Amino acid sequence: GYEAQLGASHPDTLSFGSNLGVVLKQQGKLAEAEALYRRALKGRRAALGDEHPDTLLSLNNLGMLLQARARPRDAVELFRLA
């Protein structure tokens, strides 16, 4: 897969993981989606910086997921960063 070919911190690998998180969220697999969103956010922060649009998208995705998991306080913290 992407990770084996490009490495874990490559932007395409991080996008793939984030996209998989979207699908898992839609399937109701919120814990699995959260893990992928957190991984994408961490990787994007390291590779692209805090202000990059992809990093901000990861913040939003994770915030929306936390809101869906009834964790509004955690979600608000992320939304403030975005």
Sequence-distant (≥ 6) Cβ neighbours of residue 5 within 8 angstroms: none
If you average pLDDT over residues 40-51, what whole number do you get? 94
Q: Rounded to two decimals, what is the model's pTM?
A: 0.89
- Looking up tokens 């998208």 gives 57
Q: Is 8 a residue whose pLDDT tops 90?
A: no
Q: CA–CA separation, 17 vs 59, rounded Å?
A: 14
| Structure token pair of residue 82 | 């975005």
